[in-house]
Amino acid sequence: MAKKTMTKKTLEKIDTKVQETLARLDVDMVGVVRIDALKKNKLAQAAQKLLPSVKSIVVFGMEIYPEFLELTSPERAMGTPNLNELLTRHNEYLRGRLLKAGYDVAKASHQAGLKALPLPALGPAVDGRFLEAVIPYKQTAEAAGLGNIGMSSLLITEKYGPRVQLTLCLTEAVLKSTAGKPQKNCRYCNVCVVKCPAKALGRPKAGEAYALNKYACRTYVEAAGGCSECMRVCPVASPRYQ
Ligand code: SF4
Ligand code: SF4
């Protein structure tokens, strides 16, 4: 029995240099999902397809400022300025910071002789047939204990509600998991469903977190030049409701 415990401890030896790098990152949220804890589920398989020897997935999050979100609108009169573009530029800045964090972790991994794959902050490659990401950022963040997926299909965090940009870095480094008790930040208030201008959101079936018609959402967003209503109207951690 003692021998078994020791073997487990040896296997769980944390890669300290990479772990220390996480504490120095200039981002608002950092989480870690350990591949061995995922028990070969869909997320583990997706990560292993990208980096077969992956041991940990690091999730980074940056707060989207509510000031920008409040200026957005899903409707626009012909010729008027598109203030949605201010949010787009803001998100570009946040993605730059997230990308840097991903590359910092990758660099620390490489210096420790370990492989790493920092993923794009704009989002992963998507299978256009099903609009499915090769690895889902929001579900990974949920598995890392950073929040839960709400009825809007967005990650709902305790501190920033749905106002977060995410990215990931896969690494061979063994890191401390941040997964804890599942969070319940979505209030199931239905506001996002009612306010969705494309009627792309609906009541989820039992056992499912959300019901989103991805094609209806994408078509609307492209035609309107942006839409963030489901994020804007969510009451969780929103200054609009304080
Ligand atoms: S608006 Fe309400 S139902 Fe929708 S994600 Fe936010 S808390 Fe959940
Ligand atoms: S982004 Fe707009 S269209 Fe898409 S689900 Fe949210 S509110 Fe609906």
Each of the 242 residues of the chain gets a pLDDT tens digit; together they read: 344 444 444 456 899 999 999 999 999 999 999 999 998 899 999 999 999 999 999 999 999 999 999 998 877 666 777 788 899 999 999 999 999 999 999 999 999 999 999 998 776 666 666 666 789 999 999 999 999 999 999 999 999 999 999 999 999 999 999 998 888 999 999 999 999 999 999 999 998 999 999 999 999 998 888 899 999 999 999 987 77
From ligand 2's centre to the CA of 44, what distance in Å? 28
Ligand 1 centroid from CA 192, angstroms: 6
The rounded distance, in Å, linking the Cα atoms of 91 and 21 is 24
User: Is the CB of 191 within 6 Å of ligand 1?
Assistant: yes
User: Best mutation site among 160, 234, 241 for ligand 1, i.e. most ligand atoms within 8 A of its Cβ?
Assistant: 234
216 alpha carbon – ligand 2 mean position (Å): 8
pTM of this structure: 0.90
Shortest-distance atom of ligand 2 to CA 199: 8
pLDDT of residue 128: 64
Q: Whose CA is nearest to atom 4 of ligand 2?
A: 217
Which ligand sits closest to the CA of 184?
Answer: 1
Radius of gyration of the chain from its Cα atoms, rounded to whole angstroms: 19
What pLDDT sits at residue 226?
84
pLDDT of residue 7: 47
Ligand 2, atom 8: nearest CA belongs to which residue?
196
What's domain 2-186's architecture? Answer: 3-Layer(aba) Sandwich (3.40)
Which ligand is closest to the CA of 87, given by its number?
2
Is there an atom of ligand 2 within 6 Å of 234 CB? no
Q: With a 6 A CB cut-off, is 176 part of the ligand 1 pocket?
A: no
Determine whether the shortest distance from the Cβ of 200 to ligand 2 is under 6 A.
yes
pLDDT at position 126: 65
Nearest Cα residue to atom 1 of ligand 1: 234
What spacing in Å lies between the alpha carbon of 242 and ligand 2's midpoint? 24
Q: Is 209 touching ligand 1 by the criterion CB < 6 Å? A: no
* Strand bridging mode 201-202 / 126-127: unpaired
Q: Considering every ligand atom, which ligand is closest to the CA of 211? A: 2
